[in-house]
Amino acid sequence: MERFTRSFFYATKGLLFALRNEKNFQIEIIVAVFVIFLMFLFPLSGSERSLLLLSIVLVLTLELANTALERVMDILKPRIHPYARVIKDVMAGAVLLATFSAIAIGLVIFSPYFFTSFHL
């Protein structure tokens, strides 16, 4: 049990580090909170809620992985390999792709409610 508690503590430290130091993670958290608020505001199905939560978690998880990878690459900077920039760019691309996917999912799910609510 002590190992689990210690693991949980270190994982929490990692999340707090990203929250304090990563601007993109901060923005994504704000957007996630807004989406979760909308989930309670509109009568979404369980599947819609699950899909939105999965999208949020995917974007945040990829952002954390991107942060970790960038830190590793920064450690290697004095001996940087030309592929280091490519690796960082590919990981950032993965976050961007997940973000666009999450936006598309959000638009598909929320647009009928916005059109109905605002008579658009």
Q: For 8-54, how does the pLDDT look when each residue is reduced to its tens digit (9 = 90+)?
A: 999 999 999 999 999 999 999 999 999 999 999 999 999 999 999 99
Q: What is the pLDDT of residues 52-70, one digit of tens each?
A: 999 999 999 999 999 999 9
Q: Which helix (H) or strand (E) holds 40?
A: helix 23-41
> Which of 2, 22, 48, 63 is the catalytic position?
63
Q: What is the pLDDT of residue 68?
A: 94
Would the pLDDT of 71 be above 60?
yes
- Kindly report whether the global pTM for this prediction surpasses the value 0.85: yes
pLDDT-based confidence at residue 120 (cuts at 50, 70, 90) = low
Domain ranges in the chain? 28-118
Output the DSSP codes for 70-82: HHHHHHTGGG--T
Selection from 83, 30, 29 nearest residue 57 by Cα: 29
Q: Is 70 a catalytic residue?
A: no
CATH architecture of 28-118: Orthogonal Bundle (1.10)
Would the pLDDT of 78 be above 70?
no
Q: How far apart are CA 107 and CA 38, in angstroms?
A: 12
Q: How far apart are CA 110 and CA 32, in angstroms?
A: 14
